[in-house]
Amino acid sequence: MKSLGYKRSTTQYIREWCIELFLLASASAAIFVTLAIVFILISESIPFFKEVSILIFLSDTQWTPLFANPRYGILPLLMGTLVTTGVALSLAIPVGTISAIYLSEYAPARLRETVKPILELLAAVPTVVYGYFALLFVTPLLQKFFPSLPGFNMLSAGLVMGVMIIPYISSLSEDAMRAVPMHMREGAYAMGSTKFQTAINVVMPGALSGITAAYILGISRAIGETMVVAIAAGMQPNFTINPAESAATITAFIVQVSLGDLPHDSIGYQSIFAAGSVLLVITFSFNILGFLVKKKFRQRY
Amino acid sequence: MDQLSKEQIKKLIRSHKLKDNIFEILGLILLLCSLLVLLALIIDLSTDGAARISKSFLTNFPSRFPDKAGILSAWVGSTLVMFVTAASAIPIGIAAGVYLEEYAKKNLFTAIIEINITNLAGVPSIIFGLMALGIFVYKFNFGPSILTAGLTLGLLILPIIITATREAIRTIPSAIREAAMAVGATKWQTVKHHVLPYSTGGILTGIVISLSRAIGETAPVITIGALTFIAFLPNAPISTEAPFIHFDWIFSPFTVMPIQMFNWVSRPQQEFHVNAAAAGMILLLMTLSMNAIAIYLRIYFRKKIKW
Amino acid sequence: MVIQNGKTDIKIKAESKNLNFYYGTHHALKDINLKIIDKSVTALIGPSGCGKTTFLRCFNRMHDLYVGNKYDGSLLLYPENINIISSSIDPIEVRMRIGMVFQKPNPFPKSIFENVAYGLRVRGVNRRSQLEDKVEESLRKAALWDEVKDRLHGLAFNLSGGQLQRLCIARALANDPEILLFDEPTSALDPIATAKVEELVTELKNTVTIIIVTHNMQQAGRVSDHTAFMYMGELIEFDRTEKIFTTPGKKLTEEYITGRFG
């Protein structure tokens, strides 16, 4: 084989190859992190489930791992997570969606470009600061209207969490709405629709999967949120659906144990990995759901 | 069907327009309410904590006496942890983004990497903490150290940096790559001379955003067992004597700003809550100004390069 | 390679032999046999999608940048007589010898100087004086020197469309290419800028072999010595430009030239 003259040196080939290998290794890091998460949660939960049957874990309504006579039912923690998430969503979904419609369909471009980054700052505030705000501003405020509200309650924690996830919902929904092609809107306007009717009848259905993906991300954030609930909702497991009571979530329990001094091999300590596994399974399911919805979204446009 | 009279049509339009206006006002009000909450939060923290901000607050260690307590160990800890986080996440994140955009072939392996990155971005931060507790603290024996915390937060923000890098690279037209290749540049030369320099703005924005997220993270750092009461500083990384640069600080126990704030919030005494508000003010100032920098960078670089 | 043609010897710079090209399963080039004559301008014409750009991009292996593309047959470069599309040949080495100017000007967002010097830097030339000499020489060859000599270190984006395209030509010339590929270089330019680029092409053929893809038949007539007419991935006819435009040998060519389709 004849050479072309400008033969590249062997070192250059080797360098190119080494660089590609390094880049590939970096990209593979994501796989290792996922594997590490799954491996640790499973391997550290196994000793726990040797002591406690999965059936009891999933059906007992008491969670008292630190008591002398411990009981390990995840339901109270799960309920705490569900109630705080429910409160957060019942604030964030309507406010986030309406804000998104306003920004996408009504707001002048300059207002939108100014407000959107500021709104996104709501998601940038550290969660521990939100915890402070919930405990020492929102709860006292609510107590003025409901004097019987305890100092720790899921209501104010949930509401503040709701504020925190508004930008996730509004930003992503707005992106989806703006991706709806103009000619679809024109069809509605040509028949005499108002902006509101166009938004409801054309834009929202057109952006449905994007909006759904935004909701799912919001739900997943609320379920995994830790500091707001740990600070403002209390750390006592409480099997209740009443948001005005105090209760611990799965995440708050993990924080509580981490703050304490339990020995590494005690069952109380291992219980945080079992609780973490439940949390991962739930958020993982929502991630998959969001992924599927988004995939459908991509096919449409 | 009966034709609507002109009067009826007018009436109908009026009611439609009314609904339209009501909705517009509602949207504006809700939007303003969200911004109002942000404002309320800032004002609440400031009125509670401003009085406590002083030089001694920044230079004192935590203390049993609220008026003597300060955040020295917390901000030093946060700075050192961020240093490890940045040093681990930035090179890996950019490299991964470059690989996926410029090198990766469309195959199953690439698809698996992409799914993993998307998924990791949605995993709650506290789960990262549990993973780090199992791997870094116990398997690797790093203990609850600055190194463990830095790496944990590094992994947590990795998906943000990867995604930002990819989006920045994607805006570069392929004509530019072809132009470089056409004069005989290798793939890496194309990346080094063109792809990376032209996507600096987007990547930098992503890095600043991700670090602002990491600096406010509390849950994973608590989970790995960071202490809440630290009355000493890690050994200095630089000294005036040889060998000048030291690394023993990375195995030092530590606390960070958000944990210090959490510790003060969870105490029953009102005086400590004031400290918490002051610490929160500083924390908020740090994260919000980092976000402001990111917004500025985005606008600055958008103006600079037009394709 | 030299072939005898009556009295004069004609030097061949490159030759495709049974060249086939596939975009995945799409068979884009079918058995192309064509000789590119040294130090002359060869125009590739034909309707959109006929494969002329695809053929052009084979010469500097641009297709290697995207997956699923496959070459078959041979594309020989003389005088070494090597098959530049063979997988054992490094595409980067090919591109070091065969330059390309694209449809739309695609300058790097760097200074004018750095744009032209880039190819040299890739080759490891870093001596300032050497770079300066070569940049000036290339810009002069591209008839751009007088317009930009005072702002060599200004951003290239600030030039006009025609100037940008000449900058891209200078960038390619700095590498002393043996063949220069032009892919519809004037399609994004106004008539005056087009005239300048065409003038440049005619001048350059004294030093470099040129292949130019164009959809503009007047342009092919003005600048080229030889013309190849392609249709549906096949080479229909190849001859001297005057012959193609006055007495084409094939009916299809005649129909295209006279504007009955395309």
Q: Is C79 on the interface with A (CB under 8 A)?
A: no
List the single best residue of B183, B199, B304 to mutate versus C (max C Cβ within 10 A): B183
According to CATH, the topology of domain B54-304 is MetI-like fold (1.10.3720)
> Is A144 in a helix, a strand, or coil?
helix
Q: Which chain C residues touch A7 with a CB distance below 8 Å?
A: 93
> Per-residue pLDDT tens for A121-172?
999 999 999 999 999 999 999 999 999 999 999 999 999 999 999 999 999 9
Q: Is the pLDDT of residue A300 over 60?
A: no
Q: Is the pLDDT of residue A298 over 70?
A: no
Q: Is the pLDDT of residue A3 over 60?
A: no
pLDDT at A262: 75
Structural domains present in chain A: 75-300 (1.10.3720.10)
DSSP letter string, chain C: -EEEETTEEEEEEEEEEEEEEEETTEEEEEEEEEEEETTSEEEEE-STTSSHHHHHHHHTTGGGGSTTEEEEEEEEETTTTEETTSTTS-HHHHHHHEEEE-SS----SSBHHHHHHHHHHHTT---HHHHHHHHHHHHHHTT-HHHHGGGTTSBGGGS-HHHHHHHHHHHHHTT--SEEEEESTTTTS-HHHHHHHHHHHHHHTTTSEEEEE-S-HHHHHHH-SEEEEEETTEEEEEEEHHHHHHS-SSHHHHHHHTTS--
pLDDT at B60: 85
Are residues A30 and B96, on separate chains, in Cβ contact within 8 Å?
Answer: yes
Are residues C88 and A1, on separate chains, in Cβ contact within 8 Å?
Answer: yes
Q: Is B38 on the interface with A (CB under 8 A)?
A: yes
pLDDT at A22: 95
Q: What average pLDDT does this structure show over B210-233?
A: 87
Which positions 100-139 of C are in contact with A (Cβ < 8 Å)?
123
pLDDT at C126: 85
Half-sphere exposure of A71 (CA within 13 A, CB side): 13
pLDDT at C4: 61
Backbone region of residue C6 per phi and psi (left: phi > 0; alpha: psi in -120 to 50; beta: other values): left
Which of A6, A119, A254 is the closest to B223 by Cβ? Answer: A254
Q: Is the pLDDT of residue A301 over 50?
A: no
> Per-residue pLDDT tens for B138-188?
899 998 899 999 999 999 999 999 999 999 999 999 999 999 999 889 899
- Chain-wide mean pLDDT for chain B? 89
Reading the block at residue C115, the tokens are 């744009």
pLDDT at C204: 92
Q: pLDDT grade, residue A291 (50/70/90)?
A: confident
Q: Is the pLDDT of residue A299 over 60?
A: no
Structural domains present in chain C: 40-61+91-257 (3.40.50.300)
- Top pLDDT among C164 and B234 is at C164
> Is C155 in a helix, a strand, or coil?
strand
Q: Is the pLDDT of residue A75 over 70?
A: yes
pLDDT at C44: 96
pLDDT at B307: 62
pLDDT at A4: 56
Q: pLDDT grade, residue B278 (50/70/90)?
A: very high
- Cα separation, A183 vs B107, in Å, equals 36
Q: Is B305 on the interface with C (CB under 8 A)?
A: yes
CB pairs under 8 A between B and C: 66
List the single best residue of C100, C122, C171 to mutate versus B (max B Cβ within 10 A): C122
Q: What is the pTM of this model?
A: 0.85
> Per-residue pLDDT tens for B61-75?
888 888 888 888 899
> Per-residue pLDDT tens for A178-236?
998 887 787 778 767 788 988 988 899 889 888 999 999 999 999 999 999 999 998 88
> Per-residue pLDDT tens for B12-43?
788 888 999 999 999 999 999 999 999 999 99
Q: Which chain A residues touch C92 with a CB distance below 8 Å?
A: 8
Write out residues in chain C with pLDDT < 50, as ranges: none
List the single best residue of C66, C108, C211 to mutate versus B (max B Cβ within 10 A): C108
Q: pLDDT grade, residue A51 (50/70/90)?
A: confident
| Interface pTM, i.e. ipTM | 0.90
Annotated domain spans of chain B: 6-50, 54-304
Q: What is the DSSP letter of B70?
A: -
